[in-house]
């Protein structure tokens, strides 16, 4: 059992906040531990390195594979709206 825990990482469920232990070399579709439904995924593995994401939350606007702008950290909704509008206007 110890080797399983060592070779796993915890992913938090965005709906209920529970943590799900996933093997680092998982095959198939990751599922929630208690409901056995697929875990929601926003990015593919490796995107954090590709786009140099170092913080949660990080928002990145990408145009044709090129990073146009990025924002890290929490912000109030009006500030995010303004940031998004500016990014799309660029």
Residue 78 main-chain phi, psi, to 5 deg: -60, -40
Helix, strand, or coil (residue 38): strand
pLDDT number for residue 79 = 92
Task: For the chain, 90 residues long, give each residue's pLDDT as a single digit of tens.
Answer: 444 456 677 878 777 788 877 776 656 676 776 777 777 666 556 677 777 777 778 888 888 888 889 998 888 999 999 998 998 887
Host domain of residue 80: 43-90
pLDDT number for residue 1 = 42
* Residues 48, 90 within the same domain: yes
* Residues 28, 68 within the same domain: no
Question: What is the number of domains present in the chain?
Answer: 2
**What are the residues facing 42 on neighbouring strands?**
none
* Residues 7, 33 within the same domain: yes
* Residues 28, 48 within the same domain: no
């Amino acid at each position: 059992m110890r080797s399983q825990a060592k070779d796993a990482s915890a992913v938090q469920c965005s709906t209920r906040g529970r943590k799900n232990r996933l093997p680092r070399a998982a095959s198939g579709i990751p599922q929630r531990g208690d409901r056995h439904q697929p875990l929601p995924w926003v990015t593919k593995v490796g995107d954090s390195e590709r786009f140099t994401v170092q913080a949660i939350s990080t928002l990145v606007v990408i145009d044709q594979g090129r990073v146009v702008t990025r924002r890290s950290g929490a912000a109030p909704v009006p500030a995010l709206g303004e940031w998004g509008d500016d990014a799309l206007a660029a």
